[in-house]
Every structure is written in structure tokens, then in C-alpha cells.
Structure 1
Amino acid sequence: MTGCSKPEEGSTGTESSGASDQKSMALVVSTLNNPFFVTLKEGAEKKAQELGYDLVILDSQNDSAREMTNTEDLTVRGVSAILLNPADSDAAANSVRAANRAEIPVITLDRGANGGDVVSHVASDNIAGGEMAGEFIAKKLGGEGQVIQLEGVPGTSAARERGEGFMKAVKATNLELVATQPADFDRTKALNVTENLLQAHPDVKAIFAQNDEMALGALKAVQAAKKDIIVVGFDGTEEGIKSVEEGGLAATIAQQASMIGEVGVETADKAIKGEEVEVYTPVELKLITKQS
């Protein structure tokens, strides 16, 4: 995309030709091996181009050490703002502090940072989304039945908050949570974890996966076991929504990934200009079902 650098493994992307005074900001993304974050990146690219910024994109590949290296590199390059999608919320504090020392404003996207001075956090209300998923499952099961939760990457705010919301809904009903286990937001891991959990808990009636990638992996395990189990995802990725429409996943809690990227860039632009920004900017969620 013109005016935006292309993401390259371990690189900081390309410089705008002959534009030493070109306005620039950076997006440090946890991983581009996930459709949700690819869409987030695309939203950020689109808005950065509209506002006249060169956007440097760095992929941390779910590695907090690489994330720190990426951030330190950006402080040397002198970008005007950093959009950070942390690989781990606790470890991200070090990246934020590195940017703080360089007096570069940091806006976190989707996942928060547990430390450092963040100008603003742009994300969906993950607690509300987890609760929404639990309430949907409870309604489908008539308020009772055994359920499983597949957690994302331990230590991320998204996993913690989605789990918190889901548990709130579970405790308000007669649902019985028989297992909750991490599958790291990964489809293949979710497939393997679900296969094992279904053997240990043959009477499970529903599975809540904290993202669509895990939900699709869990669905494959459910189908292979020839069981009638409701599977609900989170994120509203293109493939997740397609699965809902085709009668695979029962539902997905749709985040607007592109909008998170867009709002993040708009917020960074305001911070660069010294304008007042909100400490937290929520992006609306939507329950997607086959009837939607």
C-alpha cells in the first residue's frame, strides 16, 4: 500500500523514499500469523495512509523478547508514536517503558500492558464479550449442562478478561465448567486439547473458545468425535463468521479488528498533535449467530 511499509520478518519495513520529514508511526503487532491481527494491521494501514503517515509494521511473532527488540529499534528510528499489540501484557511493560524513555507516546491495541505509561488503550470490552458468550450458551442449553473453556495465551489481558466475563455468566446459571485449559489462541493446539478434553468429559454440551482460531480447531475435534456440542468463538474473523453461516460454529463474538487498527491510528495522530485523548476507547462488539 502506497505510503505504508510492508511487514517483513525481523525488519522494520521500508523507508519512504526521499521523505526524511515524512510523518511516521509504528505498529508492533503480536503476530501476523493470525487473521484477526492481519485485519487489524490492514485497518491501521488504511487510516495511516488517509492521515498522511508512513506506517512501520513489525511482527513480534508472539515473542516478548522480539517485541522488546522491535520497540527499542523504533526508539532509535524516531517514530512519532507506537501502536503496540502486546504478545504478553506483563512483559509488554518493558516495551512501553523503553518508549517512555524516548518520549514516544504508546497506544495499546486489543491487549493492554501491565506497566509503563500508556497514552490510550483501544480495544473491545473483552469482559462483556466473554459474558455475552456465556449467556448465549446458557440460553441454548436451557441454563444447565457441562461446558469447557479454551483459553488464549496465558498472561494476555484478552485471555484474562474474556475468561472473567465468561465465568461471570457461568456462575449466574447452572452451567457446570468441567475444564478450562489454554490452547494459546492456536487452531492446531485447540484441536489437540479438545480431543483430549472430550475423552475426559464425554457429556460436555458446549465449548467456549476465546478466539475463532481455537473455536475452529475445537469444532474439528467435535465433528471428528461425532458429538452434538455447541462451539462459540470470539473475534468475528471472516472464517469464523463463514462457519457460523454454514452451521458450524454456533456463534462468534465479533470484534471489529479493522476498526481497532483505524481508531488506534486516529488516537496516535491526536497524541502526536498534543490533543487530548481518551484513556480507554471501546470498540463495539456484536454477537453473530446464523439468524443474525
Structure 2
Amino acid sequence: MRQINLTFQILLVFLLFAGCNQKPEIGLLMDTIARERWVKDRDAFVQKVNDLGGSVTVKVADSDASVQFQQALEMINAGIDVLVIIPVDMTVAAGIVKMAKKQNIPVISYDRLIRDSDIDFYVSTDNIDVGEQMASFLTTVRPTGNYVLIGGPTTDNNSFQLHLGWMNVLQPLIDKGDIKVVSHQFVERWEPQDAYQLMSSVLNEGHTVDAVIAGNDALAQGAIDALAEHGMAGKALVAGQDADITAIRNIILGNQTITIYKPIESLAFNAADAAVKMAKGKKPSDNMSFTINNGHRLVPAILLNGQVVNKQNIRMTVISEGFVAEQEIFE
């Protein structure tokens, strides 16, 4: 009997020791890595999880929501500890969350909020504030005239957040008659071609365009391409976000007015730190006082601030912080 007890105790100690040393397995579901911004997110997140003693499985859906759902199923069946999602489609992603929660897997929504779901944590920039920064800068430079608003896909909650930020600034000027929004549409994809087609239609209808606010730098590029065909590149103000290298070059050339630089290292750090903590059964953050209503619950969240980048402060922002190298800009 004593021998059995001793054997059981040894086995229990072994199991406890093994459990304590098991590496947290984190699943990262990504929409795309076609834009360099998302490559930076991926690399920073993976590096930080590795530094914290975990490991990451990354799956990229190439902007296909059904593919992302299947990738999530594979990760869940493989027994990951925490799932981090950059959703292609927030409605489909809500189904992924439901599936993960049935297996008691915590879920972090990264950059894009997954609405109407039981997510555990949300890490992003303050997208309403980003929208306000974009509109504030352009209306300060050009407080009157015709504006075009190019929103992102309606499958992405950020598109609505940005729009709210734009209108917080624009609506008083619209009400005064100083600004006229000649076109405001949402595109189907975060792709330059979608914005190009929308912008071309506006210009072909004969509208004068004084400023364009686009949901991100890819859409800003599409708008710039259309403006260039009509001899208006550099004449109309253009705002985007993400600080893509193409946007930085456009700003240097005078074809884009501003972009918004997001603190990607900090976003990835906070998400990775939260994921590893949750894999160990801990709270995702020491400060759980801030929450976001996603339509289902109040979700603990971290929202970071973006920063305006223009021709005058490129060296003081994205270059000095190592986000882009100066030689990249002038290649």
C-alpha cells in the first residue's frame, strides 16, 4: 500500500512539473499579409510570444472568411490554449468565437473588434480617434470644399469606427455649408482597385474634389491613381492610415497629405502578453478597468493612440522609431 502511495505521489509531482513547463500554444488567425503593415504585426506578435516562452501557429486567410473559419476549426481541434483573431468578416468571426468558447479556449480580438460575441479581450488603436485625426488635419488645411469619403468594408467594424470619427469633425462644417460630401461609400475590400473604381466614378461625373479621406493607405493609393488620371494628383488633399511605405512615398511626392501611424509594436506586445497570461489561467491585463461594448458584453480592452504623419514630421515619427528605414523610402 505504501509503495502504491509513493508511486502515485511521484506521478503527481511529474504531472504537475510537466504542466508548469508546458509552452503556451497560441493560435493567430490573420486576414492578410498582402500589406506590409500586417507582416509587421505578425512578426512582432510571434517574437513577443516566443520571448515569453510560448509558441505561435499562424494562419492567413487571404481575405476569405470561409477559409478563416476552417483554419480556426483546425486550430481548435489541435488543442491551442488561446486564439487571437484578426477577423476577415466580423459576423463569421463571431461564429469562430462561439466554436472556441465551447472548448473553453479564450479569444482575443486583435485590431478589429468582433461584435456580438463572447470575446475575452480586445487590443487595438482607438479608431474613432484615428478618424477624428484624419478629418481634423484635412479640415484645418482645407476648411471648405468638396470632400470624398471612402470607407472600408462593412464586414470590418473599424470601417464604422473610422466613419464615426470622420463625421464627428465633418458634420458641424457640413451643417454650416462649408463642406459638401459629394460621395461617401464603403468598398467591398481593403484594396486599391476598389477605391480607384469609386473615385473614378466620382471624377467622371464631373465633381470637383478638394479632399479625400480613405479608410487606409491602400484605399488612399487607389484614390490617388484615379486623381492622377484626371490631372488632380497633388491638388486634392488625401488622408489614409497605416503608414505603409507607399503612403510615405506618396507624402514625400506630395500626392498624399497624411497617414496615421499605428503603434504596431505596442499592439503586438499587449496582445502577446495577454495571450500568454490567459494561457496560464491569468487575467489578460493588470488594468481591466477599460471596456468596450461589442453588442454582447463589455469587453476588457486596450486602445492605443495613432499619430499623424505628414511631410514635415516623417523623420521624427516613422523613421526615428524604426518603423521604416529612410533608405526604403527613397529606393
> Match for residue 291 of structure 2?
none
> Match for residue 235 of structure 1?
242
- 2-side partners of 1:271 and 1:24: how far apart? 11
> Match for residue 282 of structure 1?
303
Q: Deviations over 1:202-257 (max 9, x none)?
A: 21100011000111121121122111211110122232223223322100122123
Over 3 Å counting, the alpha-carbon distance change for 1:201 and 1:127 in structure 2 is farther
| Matching of residue 223 in structure 1 with residue 228 in structure 2 | yes
Structure 1: state its 5+ residue gaps: 1-19
> Match for residue 42 of structure 1?
43
- 1-side partners of 2:56 and 2:71: how far apart? 14
- 8 Å CA contact 1:42–1:258 kept in 2: the answer is no
Cα displacement (A) at 1:34: 2.4
- 2-side partners of 1:57 and 1:21: how far apart? 19
- 2-side partners of 1:213 and 1:269: how far apart? 32
RMSD: 1.6
Cα displacement (A) at 1:80: 1.1
Q: Structure 1 stretch 129-138 or stretch 183-192: which is displaced more?
A: 183-192
- 8 Å CA contact 1:46–1:262 kept in 2: the answer is no
Cα displacement (A) at 1:286: 0.1
Match of 1:273 among 252, 258, 280: 280
Q: Secondary structure at the match of 1:235?
A: coil
- Which residues in structure 2 correspond to 1:100-179 (within 5 Å)? 100-141=101-142, 143-173=143-173, 174-179=178-183
- 1-side partners of 2:244 and 2:44: how far apart? 14
- 2-side partners of 1:51 and 1:77: how far apart? 21
> Match for residue 291 of structure 1?
312
Cα displacement (A) at 1:116: 2.4
> Match for residue 16 of structure 1?
none
Q: Deviations over 1:117-143 (max 9, x none)?
A: 2111000111111111111111111x2
Over 3 Å counting, the alpha-carbon distance change for 1:242 and 1:257 in structure 2 is farther
Q: Deviations over 1:157-207 (max 9, x none)?
A: 111101111111110223211111223210122122211111225211000
**Aligned AA (2:244):** T
- 8 Å CA contact 2:129–2:305 kept in 1: the answer is no
> Match for residue 25 of structure 1?
26
Cα displacement (A) at 1:114: 1.2
- 2-side partners of 1:239 and 1:46: how far apart? 25
Answer with 1 or 2: which has the greater Rg: 2
**Aligned AA (1:48):** V
- 2-side partners of 1:258 and 1:237: how far apart? 15
Structure 2: state its 5+ residue gaps: 1-20, 289-299, 314-331
Cα displacement (A) at 1:21: 4.5
Match of 2:253 among 246, 252, 261: 246
Cα displacement (A) at 1:23: 2.8
Q: Structure 1 stretch 99-108 or stretch 112-121: which is displaced more?
A: 112-121
- 2-side partners of 1:242 and 1:254: how far apart? 14
| Matching of residue 83 in structure 1 with residue 88 in structure 2 | no
**Aligned AA (2:204):** Q
Q: Deviations over 1:70-90 (max 9, x none)?
A: 111111111111110011122
Q: Structure 1 stretch 268-277 or stretch 152-161: which is displaced more?
A: 268-277
- 8 Å CA contact 1:121–1:281 kept in 2: the answer is yes
> Match for residue 66 of structure 1?
67
Tell me how many residue pairs correspond in the alignment.
Answer: 272
Cα displacement (A) at 1:24: 1.4
More helix by share: 2
| Matching of residue 54 in structure 1 with residue 75 in structure 2 | no
- 8 Å CA contact 1:96–1:115 kept in 2: the answer is no
- 8 Å CA contact 1:152–1:185 kept in 2: the answer is yes
Match of 2:200 among 189, 195, 202: 195
Q: Structure 1 stretch 78-87 or stretch 41-50: which is displaced more?
A: 41-50
Over 3 Å counting, the alpha-carbon distance change for 1:48 and 1:132 in structure 2 is same
